[in-house]
Structure 1
Amino acid sequence: MTLPTSPFVLAASAEMLYLDSPFTERVVRIAERGFQVEIWDWSAKDLDALAATGATFSSMTGYLTGNLTDPDGIDALLSSARTSLEAAARLDCPRLNLHGTGLDDKGLPVRPVDVVTPDMWLTAVDTLSRVAELGEDSGRVFTLENLNLAVDHPGTPFARAADTLALVRAVGSPHLQMNLDLYHAQIGEGNLVELCRQALPYIGEIQVADVPGRCEPGTGEIHYPAIARALHNLGYTGVIGLEGWARDDSDAALDAFRDAFTTSVPVLPGHDGTADTTAAAVSS
């Protein structure tokens, strides 16, 4: 069977699909469907078994503990980022994902923050600059993911897409990019196409799921084919990862995801905004 062609690199999270299977088998099943694979906490995985699957790994968690602003937390984050880079080398994984602070097993911040002060912003930029240097030394990219505060991650500092974009822009390194999660952004900010335009020069990856429910495209309110069309017209050709649950079964979820992000969506005449968007984003 010939699969439809996408202008993007499509990946899917093994943490959220084929949950009836052992983890390594989940990776195999996703790869067999033609997708790259994303994982979270690598420390709980058999890396040798994952490497032996032959799957292409797109992204993994880039730290195990720590945060961007407290001295002890910064040391812990940098130390675990170095260890994460060693794990990434074993899987040949190019991107390592970060958040504004360490999260527990329920996705809640280990140390919730009510107010992010100016000093915290400056310290976070400095910490992320050091993270970017680690990425440069290893030839890999760290990505900073936006989250939502209303549903999944209350109390997380630097959670909004506007926050993560500001930090990535301030660091100004190709080894620190933005993981633009459109599920989280829809809950927290909306206006997704314009957000993609503004973030375009800084995006290392885009993650998707529908709202509400965090399942595959077509199960909620986000019209992902329109977003796919906008991204294609903007010239984006990078990774789009499904980080969502399967509403019914994982095969159907992957089919819906692929359908939403294929070249079956035509380019609209006069809507190629790559040059203008990049200029606007850099100057804003």
Structure 2
Amino acid sequence: MSGYRLAVCAEMVFLDLPFAERVERIARLGFEVEMWGWATKDIDALTKTGATISSMTGYLTGTLADPDGAEELLRTARQSLEVAERLDCPRLNVHGTGLDDKGLPVIPAAVVTPPMWLTAARTLGRLAELGERAGRVFTLENLNTAVDHPGTPFATAADTLALVEAVGSPHLRMNLDLYHAQIGEGNLVELVERALPHVGEIQVADVPGRREPGTGEIHYPAVAAALDRLGYEGVVGLEGWASGDPEEALERFRRAFTVA
């Protein structure tokens, strides 16, 4: 058996159920649970589900690369850490800039300038210090700009990895999203090999459509074999829509990442 664990994003499956019931259903099926923003959630109800919440969004508003936005990101990151403590959630996810309800950047950037890089690295260093004091890990997620998140700065896996490496803290890791990486960069196994020492978690969905493995072009069993060969012991999270019955979609995900 592989050493990694499987999680499912409750924002994208069992959509006919209230959120806490989605979390319970995913946990009953044997998965850890990931969620996005906490501000609209009943945190007390989530604490009673008994589920392992393995990842959540680590800020409400703010950006990495301008001073005012950075202060706002850090302010809401502190609030997020308090919620993570209540949920016993080890990882908090951030992006290059805040995203609106359509996934679009609140401050788009066609060009990322050298001062933006420096400000982003300093902001992430301060974020890592917050994580260290709280005993939590912040993860910086790569995104794609071609389909889902046009105009997002620091979106590529290469850029995200460069920032994480620059900070050099165990409390700032990369959330390597292979769905986004396939759209933007490809060469997924090589990317996993390069990034894995800096990875805090891995997220997956197939391309196109952002649905469960087996519905698109990515051969995820090969990725699973690479993770097993490399000794990955973290979480692989399905952040994708179900193509049909959600339970069957989750079973397809499990089968794709089951290494004999």
Cα separation, 2, equivalents of 1:70 and 1:64: 16
Q: TM-score, normalised by structure 2?
A: 0.99
Cα separation, 1, equivalents of 2:259 and 2:189: 18
| Partner of residue 166 from structure 1, selected from 162, 174, 186 | 162
Amino acid in the other structure paired with 2:109: V
Establish whether residue 244 from structure 1 lines up as the match of residue 245 from structure 2.
Answer: no
Q: Which residue of 2 aligns with 1:54?
A: 50
Q: Which residue of 2 aligns with 1:184?
A: 180
Amino acid in the other structure paired with 1:250: P
Q: Which residue of 2 aligns with 1:274?
A: none
Amino acid in the other structure paired with 1:89: E
| Partner of residue 220 from structure 1, selected from 173, 192, 216 | 216
Deviations 1:84-143 (A, max 9, x none): 000000000000000000000000001110100011101110000000000000000000
Cα separation, 2, equivalents of 1:172 and 1:15: 31
Aligned pair count reads: 260
| Partner of residue 232 from structure 1, selected from 208, 228, 251 | 228
Cα separation, 1, equivalents of 2:138 and 2:183: 24
Q: Secondary structure of 1:43's match?
A: coil
List alignment gaps of at least 5 residues for structure 1: 265-284
Distance change (3 Å), C-alpha of 1:30 and 1:6: farther
Cα separation, 1, equivalents of 2:102 and 2:66: 22
List alignment gaps of at least 5 residues for structure 2: none
Q: Residue 6 of structure 1: CA displacement?
A: 4.5
Q: TM-score, normalised by structure 1?
A: 0.91
- The answer to whether the 8 Å contact 2:105/2:150 transfers is yes
> Percent of pairs identical after alignment?
73
Q: Choose 1 or 2 for highest CA Rg.
A: 1
For residues 138-153 of structure 1, the aligned pairs below 5 Å read: 138-153=134-149
Q: Which residue of 1 aligns with 2:130?
A: 134
Cα separation, 2, equivalents of 1:195 and 1:128: 22
- The answer to whether the 8 Å contact 1:7/1:263 transfers is no
C-alpha RMSD over aligned residues: 0.7
- The answer to whether the 8 Å contact 1:8/1:261 transfers is no
Q: Secondary structure of 2:39's match?
A: helix
